[in-house]
């Protein structure tokens, strides 16, 4: 029988449908078993009544968490359900009755959960994180595609470093040759922009840094746009539009997932254009004043690079993303640098997904 997905059930009220999925949770109460079935698009309560079919009832009662099941039943409107419907079960096929599923409602440590990552992504929050990630990526690609950019992916194998040789992963290529895993497609992107005007690359990137922090990863996906003939003002317009496009799309399409993650959505809703555009010199002043008021531990000195507390302090003054321009050219890092001899030209290495280490 053809499969109906849980996110389509509202269109099938009163009809008999077949759902295929896994048992998220269950409880029984006298002559009733309530199966929480998930199929990847949602979770629906399936009600098994002993009086309907005793065999189905006994099978349902014996099911362990994450058992693979095919459930047939009639879709019933139910205002108590978060998706507005439940299922009156008429048939149940058990493909695999699972016992001792390792992730139970009790608390587990992160290491245990990471070791069971392939199962952990079945849980509501991890599921929500990946759905939001998908939507962010889609919003990024649509933004560039809709604004005349050509996607040109750059090679993963590269002959040389882009971000410093100490953080390169080395690969044995053929016959004693060595290749390195890309740290950035920037050098390729600059050539591509001269062919296409506007181009972007969006793929995996590597940094051989062993630090385990929220701001370090050895492997991560990075988007890198490049626009020929653009000024740094153009680049700030582009970045602002990108962030707005992502936030708007996630708020529009991923509200249930943001709820599942228990995030403060008002912070996302507050993000609107224009984003403040601050000169580096003015940021230095703000940070020094913050220190004088006792709100920042370190006293920032002109010429330095921002640490995480400095970045947090600056953004908190505005409640939205902030651009910092005219960074001193000697600093290699997160921000655009402006070459003072060619004021229209913003350049600098691409943003790593981390604050500067030193």
Given the rule CB under 8 A, which of 46-54, 216-224, 307-315, 322-330 is the region that contacts a copy of itself?
216-224
Q: Is 321 in the site for a copy of itself (CB under 8 A)?
A: no
Number of residues engaging a copy of itself in binding (CB under 8 A) = 59
Q: Is 64 in the site for a copy of itself (CB under 8 A)?
A: no
| Binding pattern for the stretch 136-165 against a copy of itself, x by CB under 8 A and - elsewhere | -xx--x---x--x-xxxx-xxx--------
Q: Is 232 in the site for a copy of itself (CB under 8 A)?
A: no
Residue closer to a copy of itself by CB (options 80, 340) is 340
In this chain, which of 195, 252, 273, 357 binds a copy of itself, going by CB under 8 A? Answer: 195
Given the rule CB under 8 A, which of 56-64, 185-193, 268-276, 322-330 is the region that contacts a copy of itself?
185-193
In the complex, what is the shortest distance from the CB of residue 150 to a copy of itself, in angstroms, rounded to a whole number?
A: 5
Q: Is 39 in the site for a copy of itself (CB under 8 A)?
A: yes
In this chain, which of 171, 252, 329, 357 binds a copy of itself, going by CB under 8 A? Answer: 171
Given the rule CB under 8 A, which of 26-34, 101-109, 119-127, 298-306 is the region that contacts a copy of itself?
119-127
Contact between 35 and 20 under an 8 Å Cβ cutoff? The reply is: no
Nearest to 277 by CA among 323, 346, 327, 231: 323
Residue closer to a copy of itself by CB (options 197, 307) is 197
Q: Is 90 in the site for a copy of itself (CB under 8 A)?
A: no
Residue closer to a copy of itself by CB (options 151, 251) is 151
Q: Applying CB under 8 A, which residues contact a copy of itself?
A: 3, 5, 7, 20-22, 39-41, 70, 118-119, 121-122, 126-127, 130-131, 133-134, 137-138, 141, 145, 148, 150-153, 155-157, 169-174, 181, 188, 191-199, 203-204, 206, 208, 210, 218-219, 221, 228-229
């Amino acid at each position: 029988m053809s499969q109906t997905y849980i996110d389509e059930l509202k269109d099938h009220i009163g009809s008999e449908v077949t759902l295929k999925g896994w048992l998220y949770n269950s409880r029984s109460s006298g002559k009733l078993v309530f199966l929480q079935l998930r199929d990847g698009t949602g979770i629906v309560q399936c009600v098994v009544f002993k009086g309907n079919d005793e065999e189905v009832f006994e099978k349902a009662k014996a099911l362990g968490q994450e058992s693979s099941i095919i459930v047939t039943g009639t879709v019933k409107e139910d205002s108590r359900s978060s998706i507005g419907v439940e299922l009156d079960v008429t048939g149940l096929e058990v493909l695999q009755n699972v016992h001792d599923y390792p992730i139970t409602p009790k608390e587990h440590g992160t290491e245990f959960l990471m070791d069971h990552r392939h199962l952990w992504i079945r849980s509501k929050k991890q599921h929500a994180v990946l759905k939001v990630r998908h939507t962010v990526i889609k919003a990024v690609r649509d933004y560039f595609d809709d604004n005349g950019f050509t996607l040109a992916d750059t090679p993963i194998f590269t002959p040389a470093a882009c971000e410093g040789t100490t953080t390169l992963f080395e690969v044995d290529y053929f016959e004693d040759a060595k290749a390195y895993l890309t740290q950035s497609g920037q050098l390729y992107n600059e050539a591509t922009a001269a062919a296409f005007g506007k181009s972007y690359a969006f793929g995996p990137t590597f940094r051989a840094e062993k630090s385990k922090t929220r701001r370090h990863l050895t492997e991560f996906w990075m988007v890198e746009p490049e626009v020929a003939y653009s000024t740094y003002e153009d680049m700030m317009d582009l970045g602002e539009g990108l962030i707005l496009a992502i936030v708007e799309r996630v708020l529009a399409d991923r509200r249930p997932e943001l709820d599942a993650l228990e995030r403060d959505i008002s912070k996302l809703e507050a993000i609107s254009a224009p984003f403040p555009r601050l000169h580096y010199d003015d940021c230095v002043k703000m940070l020094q004043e913050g220190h004088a008021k006792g709100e920042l531990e370190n006293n920032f000195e002109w010429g330095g690079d921002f640490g995480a507390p400095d970045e947090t302090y600056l953004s908190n003054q505005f409640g939205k993303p902030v651009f910092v321009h005219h960074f001193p050219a000697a600093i290699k890092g997160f921000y655009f640098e402006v070459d003072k001899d060619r004021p229209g030209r913003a350049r600098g290495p691409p943003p790593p997904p981390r604050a500067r280490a030193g």
